[in-house]
Amino acid sequence: MSDLVERRLVATPDNERYLVQSRLEITAILRSLIDHSALITVYFGDHGEFIVTAILSINPEFEELVFDYGADASVNQRLLESPRLTFATQLDHIRIQFESHRAQTTSSQGSSAFRVRMPDELIRLQRRDNYRVKVPLSRPVNCTLRLDPKRGGTAVAVRIYDVSGGGLALIDYPQSLQLTPGEIYQGCQLDLRDVGRVTTDIEIIHVLEKTGRNVTRTRLCGCCFRNMPNATLMVIRRYISKLEREQMRSSADAGRG
């Protein structure tokens, strides 16, 4: 949820080797997204609108992919009017992205849904910079957002859910803090405990609010880093490596137990 989204699928020399064009492999990847109930962000339009959804079914014989409606009816209507859609998600730390053309309405198990043609190609991308590590609840770290004077000019500390070399996700921030995709917060402080404290700009990429079984609401916000100096990136990478080592030690201890 914290990676920067490339709004168009482009086979550049840098990512061409990650391009999947085999029909069997594409079908297997899409089925895996269904099996894991992966959340998918669908971007459309000239202003970066999006919905958060999930693939409900695929029908390779008819080249059909069905995905769920978004929460906002007006946004769903604008999606139907868009000539191009970009789908982006992540599964097992691997970024998956593909495009499709105009969606149509359909139904799935009695509920409204969208359908599009299955993609002819997709990008299945794993880069070290985009590898995300969850921050353990036992050792939480915060990102302090500096609000502009129009919003009170105060600083708000928000817990970091996960972090990568490209961005982070914030969780359970105050409801009064209205985070909007496209907003840039300058001079945010990340307190990375033993590794150090760094300052960087972040851009809000997407916002998700879920209601759990106990009617609690979880607010999750994906952000990407902006204007980050190499020295700051090195500190973040050291923190990620430290978390990975701790997780591997925990797994090894659990295996011996």
Please give the domain boundaries of the chain with CATH numbers for all domains. 16-126 (2.30.110.10), 133-251 (2.40.10.220)
For the whole prediction, is pTM greater than 0.75?
no
For position 135, what pLDDT does the model report? 92
Residues 102, 114 contacting (CB under 8 angstroms): no
Instruction: Identify the segments of the chain with pLDDT beneath 50.
Output: 1-14, 215
Query: What pLDDT score was predicted for residue 18?
Result: 76
pLDDT value for 147:
81
The whole-angstrom separation of Cα 111 and Cα 124 is: 30
Extract the tokens encoding 96: 């998956």
Distance CA 189, CA 202 (A): 10
**Tens digits of per-residue pLDDT, 134-159?**
899 899 999 999 887 665 568 899 99
Could you tell me if 221 and 179 are in contact, meaning their C-beta atoms sit under 8 angstroms apart? yes
- DSSP letter for 213, please: T
Task: Give me the pLDDT at residue 13, please.
Answer: 47
Greatest C-alpha distance within the chain? 57
User: CB within 8 A of 248, min separation 6: which ones?
Assistant: none
Instruction: Report the C-alpha gap between 185 and 56 in whole angstroms.
Output: 35
Instruction: Give the per-residue pLDDT at 252.
Output: 60
pLDDT at 133: 85
User: What is the structure's pLDDT at 85?
Assistant: 95
CB atoms within 10 A of CB 122: 21
Polymer length of the chain: 257
pLDDT at site 5: 41
Strand-strand pairing, 104-108 and 94-101: unpaired
